[in-house]
Chain A
Amino acid sequence: MELYELTVHELQELLAGGITSSAEIVKSVLARIDAVEDQVKSFITVTREQALDKARQVDAQGSYQGLAGIPMGLKDNICTRGVKTTCASRMLADFIPPYESTVSRRLDQQGSVLVGKLNMDEFAMGSSTENSAFFATRNPWDLTKVPGGSSGGSAAAVAAGQIPFSLGSDTGGSIRQPAAYCGVVGMKPTYGRVSRWGVVAYASSLDQVGVLSKDVRDNAMIMQIIAGHDPLDSNCVDLAVPDYVAGLDGSVRGMRIAYPREYFGVGVNESVRDLVMQALKKYQELGAIVEEASLPHSEYALPAYYLLGPAEASANLACFDGVRFGCRDNTAENVVDMFSGTRDHGFGDEVKRRIMLGTFALSSGYYDAYYLNALKVRRLIANDFTKVFNDYDIIIAPTTPTTAFGLGEQRGDLLTIYMNDVLTVPVNMAGLPGISIPCGFTGGLPVGMQIIGKAFDEATVYKAAYAFEQNTDFHTIKPQLGVR
């Protein structure tokens, strides 16, 4: 085994045992990036020298606490002081933030080593990473397929062994969907569990940062570090974070599991459905109580999401006006032309589309019909979940209706693209925690199973995910990339 193939907890053991050093690990990871990046294309920026410097610093300290010496990758909408943060947009192609996000600061303080910034759909808008203004990322399992999105680079890099773990952000499925397509573990925590300070907003009331990792234990351990109150994010809740790793006991005996019939219906690929049903059977074998339930308003989640998300985005992206940072149209004759020229050049098609959609939904005369109704739908969806959680501990469903689709295959077919998020969006609308873990393969591509928990009960979600992982070996199967 090469170092780049190992999980975070395996690397921690080697470091603690004095068998390897952070510099060795970082070199191994950088070599892996050099070897396969041409094929996967998951990195926008590789911070080679900076990473090696920090690794040597950590090694010089002599002992390894927490995440000391462990390489990490960050989705490129997570601001890193002094390191380019582009959001995969021409608008921010040369933007170097003078401030650090809370999540990256916490990881940095734990000794983790930033190796690079990962590709994504521009401003986190998309489900394939094809909306990156720079290049498309490819699925390590099949280079003709998309890795999913918007955190496609974060998922592909972990799957390809380019990085042991990464952070992504999830507004409507942007961690879980690419995790499913790339066969890795991806967790979106409860809204308010993790600070959004320094994470470039898409839709503020839905955005959450989460972890993509090779297994559940790593994921829980990293979440433990980034979760918890932050006075810089007014929506980040001051609530104690339980010891997630200590809760991983491998048991689901007596756990009550619901599977919502709406998530197994039309549009869900048959083999995906079968694999998730088999997983449910596995849970039953392990002593869990598994029953069908209903989330009746599910079908309205997607249309409501495509009003609320863009509405918030239309304001969040108004700061990109060319005045203070980012690109600017210097050919403009006056300020109005400078605004529109800057935004016309700086934003890609999907971003423009969502800004227009959101602007329209908030316009006088349409607000009640669109924005306000969408808010009501959001409430109904949250109520659906609350009802089910009166009787059950977790909900299990497929993460996505299908496996990864082909690059360019859905280009222009917006409704099909948006359908990728149909099973993940309701979870964001209700603000709940949701994880995607591998539950099998079909046609050589991984299938993801989604486990949804009660608000702020990430612990139970991790516990259930870990029990499944301990009793299956899907997470140990790696894509075979031709090495140059």
Chain B
Amino acid sequence: MSPDYEIVIGLEVHAELKTQTKIFCSCSTAFGAEPNTQTCPICAGFPGALPVLNRQVVDLAIRAGLALHCEIPAMCKFDRKNYFYPDLPHGYQVSQFDFPVCKQGYLDIDIEGQKKRVGVTRAHMEEDAGKLVHQGDITTTPFSLVDLNRSGVALLEIVSEPDMRSAQEARAYLEKLRSMLLFAGVSDCKMQEGSLRCDANVSVRPFGQQEFGTRCEIKNLNSFRALERAIEYEAKRHMEALEDGTELFQETRTWDEEKQMTRSMRSKEEAHDYRYFPEPDLPPLFISREWVDEVRAALPEMPEQAQQRLMEVYGLPEYDAALLTLTPETLDFFDRCVQEYPDAKTIANWMMGEFSRLLNQTNQEIGDSHLTPDHLVQMLRLVDDGTISGKIAKTVLEDMFNSGQSPQEIIKAKGLVQISDADTLLPLIEDIVGANPKVVEDYKSGKGKAMGFFVGQIMKATKGQANPALVNELLKKVLDSIQ
């Protein structure tokens, strides 16, 4: 990126709130049901049906607001946002316009060891629309199918200040936001399933300039990677335009994942006039301080507190503590291990090393894998008492990860118990040494590699099960006894 320009980024994030029922009716919010099986006159926009606010939505919105250090005003209200679209049953979306449920919060993000504070302008409750299935573009498709299962699912739209200055910062903000929402238990935040969606507002200006540059809104950012790529692409496009003196237009653009580029959806002139006005079917919502206090008291441990605890109670380095508090599931896994096994650092090493590698490799979340804290602890104990070597332990872990079997079962089934019996190992070592006089000579002449060759051969012969310390000890003894 050019050093002469500054990128300015603000994010609008839609998080699906984790409620059993929709925001204004009692239809289920379960994901993946048959189309139009979770609908009723209210969420299908039938005439005469009226919305009734789901209190649980407000609870979760307040909880999210507190997690994002927001103010919860004593009064908020709902408004209608008017536009026609076949997936929008009422012809308007019930949202919050000028009096949102949360305002003026912040999130602290970590950029290469530097703490940076990003403002949260507001967060408001709204209903989701349905889903359309059509061939190609909606204006040319022969027909469209409408699924209203998602219509009326509760969303929280969280709007940041334009405080971010790089794609990296934007990603860090979104990751932090996701972590906060996960810890607060307000959303599943699954980007692939659409329960966390992100739009980015991007503009570019010469360093030192006060006014913002022309702003473009980018939609369809379905992953952290897409967010970063799209911002980088868009910023580059703006810089080039500024360099060339071509005009930029305020517009809405979409991220094309296939072509790895943004393209125009609609310009400012075509922008909707949403004609917001107060939702007359819902009275203003008054949130008492007692209600807020109640939610605050029930707020679970948040990542910053947990990180602090891991450093203070278990003496973990900041880096480890940060990684172990990325999601509630990770922290929970660690907490359950450390209750049974005293060496926190060893647990952390295995979680951040081998376990994390396997998760990445298989594209799984910690909760999806078969590995349980109990099994990991049992495995660590087997290493400690010499039943298996550290090297074998990696194999055992992978097996536990894939099959969910206990380490004992795996060791037994595969015969992986460490050979720590000198009577078994000694004849084997003597055979191998005897068969390689040339290497013995090398050893005698002081070549370090020779020792390694013998250890390797012994391990190969025992399928890695020989106790390495014992092998070293016996091997030395055998070699030294040769004159």
Listed in ascending order, the chain A residues whose CB lies under 8 Å from chain B are 77, 79, 85, 87, 92, 95, 97-99, 101, 196-201, 203-205, 231-235, 311-312, 314-315, 317-321, 323-325, 334-336, 339, 359, 362-364, 367, 371
Contact = CB atoms under 8 A, between A and B. Distances in A.
Interface residues of B, number: 32
B48 A364 contact: no
B41 A319 contact: no
Interface of B: 41, 44-53, 80, 82, 84, 86, 89-92, 138-140, 144, 146, 273, 275-277, 280-283
A228 B456 CA distance: 87
A323 B39 CA distance: 15
Given A234-B52, A234-B281, A315-B80, A364 B46 contact: no
B298 to A, nearest CB: 25
B250 to A, nearest CB: 15
B89 A319 contact: yes
A339 B140 CA distance: 15
For the residues of B in contact with A, the DSSP-based class is loop
A234 B275 contact: no
Contacts of A320: 47
Given A204-B280, A336-B139, A325 B46 contact: yes
Contacts of A323: 86, 89, 146
A234 B84 contact: no
Given A323-B89, A364-B273, 10 more contacts: A99-B46, A99-B48, A200-B48, A231-B52, A315-B277, A317-B91, A318-B91, A325-B47, A334-B138, A371-B277
A204 B48 CA distance: 10
Q: Choose among B92, B139, B273, B277 the residue with the greatest number of A CB atoms under 10 Å from its CB.
A: B277
26 contacts: A79-B47, A92-B47, A97-B47, A99-B48, A196-B50, A197-B49, A197-B50, A201-B47, A201-B48, A201-B281, A231-B52, A232-B52, A234-B281, A312-B277, A315-B82, A315-B92, A319-B46, A321-B84, A324-B46, A335-B139, A335-B144, A362-B275, A362-B277, A364-B273, A367-B275, A367-B277
Contacts of B146: 323-324
For the residues of A in contact with B, the DSSP-based class is loop
Given A197-B48, A323-B146, A362-B82, A98 B139 contact: no
Contact of B49 (A77, A99, A314, A371): A99
A324 B146 CA distance: 9
Contacts of A199: 48
Contacts of A92: 47
B44 A234 contact: no
A318 B52 contact: no
A440 to B, nearest CB: 37
Nearest to A87: B47
B140 A334 contact: yes
A58 B82 CA distance: 47
Given A318-B84, A321-B84, A362-B275, A200 B50 contact: no
A201 B50 CA distance: 9
Contacts of A235: 280-283
Contact of A334 (B48, B139, B275): B139
B277 A79 contact: no
Contacts of A311: 277
B86 A321 contact: yes
Contacts of B44: 324
